[in-house]
Amino acid sequence: MGFVGTDNNGDAIHVQIPRRAVNIHRPFILEDSLYVLSGFRVTMPQIRFIAMNRS
């Protein structure tokens, strides 16, 4: 699952959640809901062509 989220500064970040984790938590994931994610790791993107604003 991939989506755009915001960090503590309000900046947009691209988030990818592994399929295994999504399947475990799918019953609790609702579209248009707000979630706080913790215990994650920052890695290099695994997909190409992520749209972003350049400053």
Q: Are 32 and 2 in contact (CB under 8 A)?
A: no
Residue span of the structural domain in which 23 resides: 1-41
pTM listed for this prediction: 0.54
Q: Is residue 16 part of a domain?
A: yes
With contact defined as beta carbons under 8 Å apart, do 16 and 47 qualify?
yes
Which of 34, 53, 28, 50 has its CA nearest to residue 16? 50
What tens digit of pLDDT does each residue of 1-50 get?
A: 888 888 889 888 888 888 898 899 889 888 888 888 888 888 877 767 66
Tokens of 24: 């475990």
Does residue 3 fall inside a structural domain?
yes
- Please count the structural domains in the chain: 1
pLDDT of residue 51: 67
Q: Provide the CA 5 distance to its chain's centre, in angstroms.
A: 6
In a domain, 51, yes or no: no
Q: Is residue 30 part of a domain?
A: yes
Q: How far is it, in rounded angstroms, from Cα 35 to Cα 14? A: 15
Contact between residue 15 and residue 5 where contact means Cβ atoms under 8 Å apart: yes
